[in-house]
Amino acid sequence: MHIHILGICGTFMGGVAALAREAGHKVTGCDAGVYPPMSDQLRALGIDLIEGYGAEQVQLKPDVFVVGNVVSRARRDDGTSKFPLMEAILDQGLPYTSGPQWLAENVLQGRHVLAVAGTHGKTTTTSMLAWVLECAGLVPGFLVGGVPLDFGVSARLGALAAGQERPLFVIEADEYDTAFFDKRSKFVHYRPRTAVLNNLEFDHADIFPDLAAIERQFHHLLRTVPATGRVVSNGLEEALARVLHQGCWSEVRSFGSAVSDFTAQGLHHAFDVLRAGQVVGRVEWALSGEHNQLNALAAIAAAEHVGVAPATACAALGRFRNVRRRMELRGTVAGIAVYDDFAHHPTAIRTTLDGLRQQVGQQTRILAVFEPRSNTMKLGTMKAQLPWALKEADLAFCHTAGLDWDAAQALEPLGEAGLTAGDIATVVQQVLAAVRPGDAIVCMSNGGFGGIHAQLLQALAARFTPG
């Protein structure tokens, strides 16, 4: 089969491309601003990439066009389509489908799917679960919205392991909509036998009017889990309790709360795991923060459903090396550590900084550098939560380009500790003027952030390197 992917450089669609290529299909694709590292990864797999969405690409005559959710029927000011290829596909009646639909029909069918859903921690927990299964010898396939350091790739097909009825496939289950022609959440296509509900709060204000709308989508996911399946749910989340209350037809295992099936006892970086109040394993690792402890419990409970003993899962997590862009240390100059993190929602920012504070202690200053880049943050829906999110930061620097709301006003409760700038160069200069040896700088964005990490390290080296 020849598939041509529209929006191929997105993390999810790039993963679909890699899986299709590994399965032996011919894969081509297009995107606007074809960019590394995804473009380099795809070309290394022998996938031809085309810049833009020109209508002439119909001449490739693939068996099917696979359409990413970046594609829409939007038009420019002059009335022309922003995606002329999609218009040509529709005009000529050519076959097309969405990425999640193609994945469900061509990769996930016949597999035991373990899907990890939630507002936060999907990528990390999916990576943890895939690593636990790998260490248990179960050779899982996976599709992750990032690059797990233990695997070095974001997607692979996996294989049928001895003793398993079906090959295992671990997937990051996103609640964002599927495509312009399919407004259901992506995850309803995956039909998991094991579903992890990691947490749930309001996000994606561009497509969801309120939290209740997202809860309905999560319940649609539960409707697809068989009676022999397992739902792993965070016992600390009221929103997930409401989702389960709408109806659940599968075994439920909870984690996190004092009365949950799976709980933790100890520090976030070294803790016993208890199942029904009995110690079943211990995790000692380099990760920090309560959020990662909860992620670990979710992965352990999900892995148990496919036969991995909690003690085995705990041992594997002790060797887990995390995911790129999850508190990834990019470099150190004069004792100043520069971290890169994907946090882009107030709660994610808060948990990231809380975890870093636990790691570095009270004596180290934390400089938080962030950009409100997600659609929800650009709309200003959660701007009032930013002072709360940045509580553990000694100084906060906000990149304001593209915002229609006043970031300086939103950060006023921080006083002189909150600074804003409309361009990256000014942000770098603000940080450089304030930083001291021994500080920790964490840059938070769900995009490339204009390469600010490298710019900061270069500027720090110029200032603090002798000679």
* Numbered residues of the known binding site for ATP: 118-124
Alpha-carbon gap, residue 379 to 261, rounded angstroms: 39
Question: How far does the chain reach from its first CA to its final CA, in angstroms?
Answer: 60
Cβ count near 183 (within 10 Å): 11
Dist. CA 114–CA 127, nearest whole Å: 12
Angle between helices 122-135 and 310-317 (to 10 degrees): 110
How far is it, in rounded angstroms, from Cα 253 to Cα 276?
10
User: Do 126 and 170 meet the contact criterion of CB atoms below 8 Å apart?
Assistant: yes
DSSP states of 83-151: -HHHHHHHHHT--EEEHHHHHIIIIITTSEEEEEE-SS-HHHHHHHHHHHHHHTT---EEE-SS-BTTT
List, in sequence order, every residue forming a beta bridge with 419; answer none if it has no partner.
397
Which amino acid type is present at position 434? Answer: A
DSSP 182: E
Enumerate helices (H) and strands (E) in the chain, giving the number of each.
15, 23
Dist CA 348 CA 368 (whole Å): 13
Contact 343, 374 (CB under 8 A): no
Two tokens, residue 86: 């999609």
Transcribe 354-380 into DSSP letters.
Answer: HHHHHHH-SSS-EEEEE---SHHHHTT
Sign of CA dihedral 167, 11, 344, 444: positive
Quick one: DSSP state of residue 81?
Answer: B
What are the structure tokens assigned to 31, written together? 């995107």
Give the DSSP letter string of 266-318: EETTEEEEEETTEEEEEEE-S--SHHHHHHHHHHHHHHHHTT--HHHHHHHHT
Concatenate the DSSP letters of all residues of 202-234 into one string: ---TTT-SSHHHHHHHHHHHHHTS-TTSEEEEE
Per-residue burial over 285-318, b = 16 or more CB atoms within 10 Å of its CB, e = otherwise: bebbbebbbbbbbbbbbbbbbbebebebbbbbbe
